[in-house]
Structure 1
Amino acid sequence: MSSRRLTAIAGSLVTASFSAVMILACTAVADDQGPGSAKGGKAVDEAPAGVRPSTTLPSRISVDNSSRKTAINATVKNGGSKESGDIRLLVVGFGGLRVTHVQGCSPLDRKELPAGANSGFACPVGALAPGGSRSYSVDATYDLGRRGKICLPVQSADGRQTYWQQGPVPFGTTNPSPNAPATPLLLGTDNKPAAPGGDQLPRTGVDGDVLPLGAAGAALIAAGTAGLWWTRRRQET
């Protein structure tokens, strides 16, 4: 086999190994909250004619297990054929889910909170055009040792009528992992509180260090190519 051909194969190997490492790394750090969902939502008071308000929450959020912090996107929509008029959105937390901040919104006084709520914010949405929507970035904390819920009422600007209410709908998991960097929670799932104690997750398989995903992928590609090169060399000799 010529040196030029060997050089070309080696160059291809380097490129393939680098690509594998990049793909694995990008997959590992992806943070996708999933599609929006209106799960747990229902109409309450009759909205003005031609107005159809609704809300959506992400189907999945992720809780940092060291800080207990999480981020949630809350969206209010007008699926009707007419402008909504002035409306407001409330973002309310229950149980293990506490809302700490909503961009562009004001915290509710304790006396304004619904029964059982621990936190809440009022967001002046204004008027939504037909088919229009507005999203809010919600900062919250989540205690994996408890069950947590969130509620999104859409009201008239004075708060006297509630046209739509999503929740209180739970975020949770049936398999909490407090010793991992983060725990994913699914919308509409009752949280099974994490058991206290334990510094490490159970170890399985062969004891010892494990290669990082990127390094392992590159090693497998290199091993496979070495076998291919050896086979070709034997055929040519």
Structure 2
Amino acid sequence: MSSRRTAAVAGSLVAASFSAVVILSGTAGAEDEGPGSSKGGKVVDEAPAGVKLTTRLPEKISVDNGSGRTALTATVKNDGNKYSGKVLLLVVGFDGLTVKSVQGCSRIAEMNLPEGSNSGFRCPVGNLAAGESTSYAVDATYDLGKAGKICLSVQTGDGKKTLWQQGPVPFGTTNPSPDAPATPLLLGTDNKPVSPGKPDSPGGKELPKTGPARALLPLGAAGASLLAAGAAGMWWSQRRRPVRQEV
């Protein structure tokens, strides 16, 4: 191979490598996810014998600092030794995390969203065999100036029971990186956004707490509300209390 041709090929490879780096560094998506975790999850109603349903969320996601876009994978699995029967997966966003779409799922009408949530989707999982899992690609946006939480709820096909609920569990960071292309967020971590002006300035607005004490929705009235979402596509009671305006 001539030296001129060798130089041309080498130049093409360098250009291709540079392009790939630019594309990957500008993308905040599922490829940034760590191992799946059931952190913040809890059994609500007892499942049939031999059925054990759980969900998984990535341990980390990455938010594009320019667009605020992110992506993650929501997984539901039957860890039991019998078929699950028809089940539904509900994916709901809270505060700074807004769910824009979930592949293969239908949007929950705004009037039927649970109190405090901003978005939600209903996914017909079907009948999971023992050891089987199904994953859904979730596109979302994250306002890094706020806390952000997500909730996964697994219900029977008729919506009468909630067999498992993960969250609302926060994604966040205690070390914001506004000058970087993207900000990595960890599951189960309260977000600590950079205050307006100087980072950590005393005059910055305090972020509402979303720690472990609030990691799960109350399993009383709120848990009952989740049950209604499956069969009728209804989440919270339509007689919702007025949403409080943040100061």
The two structures, once aligned, show a CA RMSD in angstroms of 2.5
Which string of whole-angstrom CA distances, capped at 9 and with x for unpartnered residues, describes residues 1-32 of structure 1? Answer: xxxxxxxxxxxxxx9xx9xxx7xx97x95843
Partners of 1:80 and 1:130 within 8 A in 2? yes
The answer as to whether partners of 2:155 and 2:164 remain within 8 angstroms in 1 is yes
Question: 1:20-69: CA deviations, max 9, x gaps?
Answer: xx7xx97x958431100000001001111111000000000000011100
CA distance in 2, matches of 1:163, 1:107: 21
Residue 81 (1) aligns with residue 81 (2): yes
Q: Which moved more, 1:187-196 or 1:59-68?
A: 187-196
Once the two structures are superposed, the pairs formed by residues 24-103 of structure 1 within 5 Å of their partners are 29=24, 31-103=31-103
8 Å CA contact 1:125–1:134 kept in 2: the answer is yes
Q: What SS class does the counterpart of residue 195 from structure 1 fall into?
A: coil
Q: Does 1:161 align with 2:161?
A: yes
Alpha-carbon distance between aligned partners in 2 of 1:85 and 1:112, rounded to the nearest angstrom: 25
- Asked if the contact 1:62–1:185 (Cα under 8 Å) also holds between the matched residues in 2, the reply is yes
In structure 2, list runs of 5 or more residues that go unmatched.
Answer: 1-9, 26-30, 199-247
Equivalence map 1:55-204=2 (5 Å):
55-197=55-197
Is the Cα contact below 8 Å between 1:88 and 1:157 reproduced in 2?
A: yes
CA distance, structure 1, for counterparts of residue 48 and residue 32 of structure 2: 35
TM-score after normalising by structure 2: 0.68
Q: Match of 1:137, as an amino acid?
A: A
Aligned equivalents of 1:197 and 1:90: distance in 2? Answer: 38
Aligned partner of residue 51 in structure 1, secondary structure: coil
Mapped partners of 1:190, 1:65: distance in 2: 18
Q: Mean alpha-carbon deviation: is it higher for 152-161 or for 167-176? A: 152-161
Quote the offset at 1:109 in angstroms: 1.4
- AA matched with 1:99: V
- Counterpart of 1:144 in structure 2: which amino acid? L
CA distance in structure 2 between the partners assigned to 1:69 and 1:103 by the alignment: 16
The answer to whether the 8 A contact 2:32-2:62 is kept is no
TM-score normalised by structure 1 residue count = 0.71
Higher helix content, 1 or 2: 1
- Aligned with 1:176: secondary structure? coil
Measured after TM superposition, the shift of residue 110 of structure 1 is 2.1
Report SS of the residue matched to 1:111: helix
Matched to 1:155, the amino acid is Q
Structure with higher Rg: it is 1
Offset at residue 193 of structure 1 (A)? 1.9
* Mapped partners of 1:194, 1:72: distance in 2: 24
Unaligned runs of 5+ residues in structure 1 are: 1-14, 199-237
